[in-house]
Every structure is written in C-alpha cells, then in structure tokens.
Amino acid sequence: MFIENAHRSYDDDGAQKAGPARFLILLQSKDRSLGPNNFRAVVRKVKLSQCGHFMMGRARVANQTLIISGSYGGDGLPKTVDEDVYAKGVDVPRELYDAWNKGEGWNGAGTEAKAMQKWAVKTFRRKS
C-alpha cells in the first residue's frame, strides 16, 4: 500500500499507473519454524502499472527484486521471502497483525488499512 500520495494516471491505452511513491511491503519468512505470524515490513519506492486486472511493480530489497502486486505487495498478503530480505524488515506490532488477520481484506487491504498506514508513516520516517 502506498503510504504517501502517489500520482495516479492513465496511459494512452487507458491502463492505470501509480507512483513512484513510498510503498509498504509486508514480509513473511520462508522459514516456517518462525510460526505463521512472522510479519515484518519494509518501505520502498514503487511504481505500479496495470497488467490485466492487476496493479504490478517491482521493489529492490537486499539485492533482490520483489514482484509487487496490489496491497502490501502480495494482493493483501505478505510476500514470502528469503532470510536476507526478511532480515531487512521491521517487526509488525502484534496488534496490527491481529487487525490485519481480522480485517476482511480480499485481494487487498481491509479495515486495518488506516492503522497500518499510520504505523508505517511513523516507523519509516523519511531520511533528511
């Protein structure tokens, strides 16, 4: 999800575009021993473009390219990533994980969206 105002436009064929702007990406480790709620997050500048019915883009984390789709990078779900990418993230507070888990988002952010955005803006302050 964009955590700042992302310029939105359409190309000559009517396809949507958004960004580049700061985007909250939820991460989950491939290491299943960490349990199901091993949420972390990173913020990267992302530009999304319409691809069929989806808004997709790319982000670089720990020298890897992540394919971003929809809210939180995984259509409302966290991206499952290798340990080196996961290590770059910041732990998502338990109350936000619980809100996300009960947020009723379907292929997108749910009722937790405003709280998640507020946390991300505070946590990932711009560097001067």
Which tens digits make up the pLDDT trace of 27-68?
A: 999 988 887 678 999 999 999 999 998 999 999 999 999 999
Q: Is position 49 within any domain?
A: yes
Buried b / exposed e along 46-73 (16+ C-beta atoms within 10 A): bbbebeeeebbbebebeeeebebbbbbb
Q: Is position 64 within any domain?
A: yes
Q: Is 74 in a helix, a strand, or coil? A: strand
- Supply the range of the domain harboring residue 81: 8-123
Q: Does the bond joining 36 to the residue before it have cis omega, within 30 degrees of 0? A: no
Helix (H) or strand (E) segment spanning residue 71 = none
Share of the chain above pLDDT 70, in %: 98
Residue linked to tokens 């349990």:
35
Q: Is position 3 within any domain?
A: no
Q: Is 86 in a helix, a strand, or coil? A: helix
Q: Is position 18 within any domain?
A: yes
pLDDT, tens digit, 9 for 90 and up, residues 68-107: 998 999 998 999 999 999 999 999 999 999 999 998 887 7
Which residues sit opposite 10 in a β-bridge? 16
Q: Is position 1 within any domain?
A: no
